[in-house]
Structure 1
Amino acid sequence: MKDPTTQFGVYLKEAPLKIFAGEEKTVYYIHVGVLLACKSSTANVRINGHWKDTGDGAIDWTHFDRQTVECVLHYLYTGDYYVPYFLPMKGSAVEGVQKSLDQAENNVDEPPSPLSTLSTCDALPPTESSLLEGDTTKRPLTPIRNCVKAGFPVENMKTAAGFVVVKDSEHDKHVIGASVLMHSKVYSFAHQHFFSDLANFALQRLTQVLALAPDDCALMFPYLADAIRHIYDTTPGPEIQEDPARKLLSQYVAMNYTHLAGEELSALVEEGGDLMIDISKKLVRLLTTNTSEIFCLERKVHSLSAEVGELQTICKDKEQEIQNLQARYESEVTTLSAIKNSRKKKSGSLY
């Protein structure tokens, strides 16, 4: 196995490639070796393909905004990325994020974040531990927090996405919505360009953020709506394959449907398409499960009611038995008292 330091040195010996990102065609540079490490990606094919000597060698990623591309580049070099919070948001959110980043740099012994509780699946059977495994048509919807893969890193760096989300969510709930949108964009990029490891990573980060979403889910709009539209516009439909990000987002909406009710959700519903088909299927599962649970609870209540009736009958019998014993006791006490009095009278007459 090659020494990572030596391998990184090899990367630095090669001239970097130019990347154009976003509509404004912002220029970035990346070392060839970093892209070559992603064997199945389109970037690898672009470098090694038979057309590699054509053009100026620049990579065109202008169909994704520069924030998304920066996250991708950050991941390719470090194995992690943080959400760039220069997305449009309230000033308090930006200040909160900066405060969190400063704390991350200064506090080495930071206590475990709430995300650490999500890094392993709860005690569930194998078929319940992931959205991607097993037949899901006849079982309850898996809670979002149970969809995080066991052993998935909570944060590789103190400024990682998960850390920032946890810290700043205490100050501004809209930051979580912005994180949902950015992780969705990174997943979409990785999916389209066949960066499989990055796609899995972004999907897990998205799952972690959704698991930490505030109780008032409406605060996540409009970011959540944009994330859903982006995923459904850039990933294949069910006729080709079941996309895990689609399943995750539709499941989140279905499980929080009443909390998400409002104009934003109504607009999504009116758009129809694959999203509403997916949500409808999951709502049917949810209702079926709830109906089954209600039926089971009704049977249990009926059984308990019958048991209570039997216990009440036993109780009445015992009360009657106690009353009989008490009457017998009082009768015997009266008899004994009469005998004692009679003996006293007899003994007195002898003298």
Structure 2
Amino acid sequence: MELLTTFEKYCSLSLPLSTYLPELRFFQSGTVTIYAGKERRELAVHKAILSESGSPSLQKLAEPGWRESSEGCIDWTHTSTPTVERVLTWLYLRDYTSPDPIRREGSVRSEEADNIVDGQDPKVREDTQSVAGQYGEIEESNEAVEPLAEAEAAPEPPPEPDYSDVEDLELQNAILDSCSQRPLTPLGTCVGLPPVTTTYKTAAGLFEEEEFPIHSFSYREPLLAHVEVYSFGKYHFLRGLQDLALQRMIVTLRKIDCSVKYAREELGEIIEFAYDNIDATGDGEEPMRKLLSQFAAANYTSLLHGSFETLFGRGGEFTLDLARKLSRRLLAHGVSGRLVEDELEQRIQTLEVRVQERDETIKSLNVSLNDLREWGRGFNRRGSRGRYR
């Protein structure tokens, strides 16, 4: 069985790494040093991992005759160190971890919020309770205390009849023999250990269980991590890594409430980064671009404000993708094609006006620059004549 097939078989069972380490020969192969990020952090990867990755570009790095293989080092300083670490983790385990959303500055922690009851600070509440306790010791009760009624003695149950005299001797011996032959305690129970579990949740499953409200947490880091991993996978033809990054992106986007103002800023930044760094090559719409533009179209009314509206107004490929999806969305809801055309035409006219204003500003600046240059040349000529006279 091939190495990659064996590796995928064990990974599909979600077993720990120690389970299949002895059965994989690629851990006996040599390693290659990777220099990752601007800080040139040194990481190591087995050559067999690169050879069995399924990526033509990564396979070349481990083949004899190539500089990386002969020198034993790979230069990935153009890629951030966390992205390289996630890619290497995926090559070994077919999964990778991403950073959790970061708590925003000034947001109240949930534990502190839970301690505040009815707008009262916990310290104030403790002081109030202590004062109440002091006054409670001074107060005297004027109510008469009724004596407790004596509990009536419960009647004794009647004695059970003794049938030992009438039972057969053979029946008694059979009962005693059956009680003496009991099964042994299971091994796991006798030492007090739980059974071994063989199912582990993926990083996406663990992330999905957590709660990160966007008004208190920033989603920029996890979104950017998935886009960078996807971009690396696409560049090196790692289809499995691309699919996983898309799945992780979907899980993250589902947690974002687009009605919060932070969502517009962070999504706009991620969309701009994705369209600038992921080329729309191949047949059909590029998957990551399609996912982001589809999410923007589904939340169009909540997102089209502020910085996100500015991004849409710049035009370009994202604006075209979003406009196509909006037109299909309006048509699906029974809106006439004429209304869709009118809305898109109005958007196009707005973009054309902005482009014209920008062109006029550029022309005006060029005229001012030329006048300044001509004035400088005339000044230099007059100055030179004055010196030679």
Q: TM-score range by the shorter chain?
A: 0.5 to 0.7
1:186 and 2:229 equivalent? yes
Correspondence for 1:63: 78
Matched, 1:80 2:123: no
2:301 to 252, 258, 268: 258
Deviation readout 1:319-338 (Å, 9 max, x if unpaired) = xxxxxxxxxxxxxxxxxxxx
Unmatched tracts of structure 2, length 5 or more: 8-19, 111-198, 338-389
Aligned to 2:104: 90
Structure whose alpha-carbon radius of gyration is higher = 2
Matched, 1:213 2:256: yes
1:169 is paired with a residue whose SS is coil
Aligned residues: 234
SS at match of 1:236: coil
Change (3 A) 1:166 1:56: same
- Asked if structure 2 preserves the Cα contact closer than 8 Å seen for 1:38 and 1:44, the reply is yes
Asked if residue 243 in structure 1 is aligned to residue 286 in structure 2, the reply is yes
| CA 1:160–1:272: 2 relative to 1, 3 Å | same
Matches within 5 A, 1:171-320: 174-216=217-259, 218-237=261-280, 242-292=285-335
Residue 160 of structure 1 is matched in structure 2 by: 203
| Matches of 1:195 and 1:223, distance apart in 2 | 27
Using the TM superposition, give the Cα deviation of residue 55 of structure 1 relative to its aligned residue in structure 2, in angstroms: 5.6
Secondary structure at 1:18 match in 2: strand
CA change 1:36–1:226 in 2 (3 A) is: farther
Q: Give the share of equivalent positions with the same residue, in percent.
A: 30
SS at match of 2:71: coil
- Distance in 2 separating the partners of 1:165 and 1:278: 29
Give the Å deviation of 1:6.
6.0
Q: Which amino acid aligns with 2:240?
A: D
Measured in 2, the distance between the counterparts of 1:207 and 1:236 equals 20
1:29 aligned to which of 44, 69, 83 = 44
Q: TM-score, normalised by structure 1?
A: 0.58
Name the amino acid aligned to 1:242. Answer: E
| CA distance in 1: counterparts of 2:290 and 2:49, whole angstroms | 31
- Return closer, same or farther for 1:74/1:89 CA change in 2, 3 Å cut-off: farther
Contact 1:187 1:199 in 2 (8 A): yes
C-alpha displacement at 1:168, in angstroms? 3.6
Report the Cα offset of residue 251 of structure 1. 0.8
SS state at 2:72 partner: coil
Match of 1:39, SS state, is coil
* Distance (Å, rounded) in 2 between the aligned partners of 1:228 and 1:188: 13
In the alignment, the residues of structure 2 paired with residue 248 and residue 46 of structure 1 have an alpha-carbon distance, to the nearest angstrom, of 32
Deviation (angstroms), 1:274: 0.8
Amino acid corresponding to residue 163 of structure 1 in structure 2? L
> Is residue 47 from structure 1 mapped to residue 62 from structure 2 by the alignment?
yes
3-state DSSP class of the match of 1:29? strand
What's the offset of the Cα at 1:204?
1.4
Contact in 1 for aligned 2:95/2:202 (Cα 8 Å): no
Q: Give yes or no for contact 1:165–1:176 (8 Å, CA) kept in 2.
A: no
Conserved? CA contact 1:162–1:205, under 8 Å: no
Whether the 8 Å contact between 1:168 and 1:175 is mirrored in structure 2 is: no
Q: Distance in 2 between matches of 1:41 and 1:265?
A: 38
Q: 1:270 to 1:59 in 2, by over 3 A?
A: farther
Alignment partner of 1:17 is 2:17: no
SS at match of 1:17: strand
Deviation at 1:267, TM superposition (A): 3.1
Change (3 A) 1:78 1:58: same
Question: Structure 1: which amino acid aligns with 2:36?
Answer: A
Show CA shifts across 1:228-258 (max 9, x none): 1222122222676521111110111111111
Counterpart of 2:59, as a letter, is N
Structure 2 contact 246–288 (Cα < 8 Å) conserved: yes
Q: Distance in 1 between matches of 2:235 and 2:278?
A: 8
Contiguous gaps of at least 5 residues in structure 1: 97-155, 295-351
What is aligned with 1:128?
Answer: none
Rounded to whole Å, the distance in 1 between the matches of 2:248 and 2:275 is 18
C-alpha distance in structure 2 between counterparts of 1:201 and 1:175, whole Å = 22
Cα separation, 1, equivalents of 2:234 and 2:260: 27
Distance change (3 Å), C-alpha of 1:223 and 1:75: farther
Provide the rounded CA distance (Å) in 1 between the counterparts of 2:105 and 2:309: 28
CA RMSD of aligned residues (A): 3.3
Q: Helix, strand or coil: the match of 1:24?
A: coil
Question: 2:238 is aligned with what amino acid?
Answer: F
Counterpart of 1:90, as a letter, is R
Q: Whole-Å Cα distance in 2 between the matches of residues 258 and 49 of structure 1? A: 56
Match of 2:86, SS state, is: helix
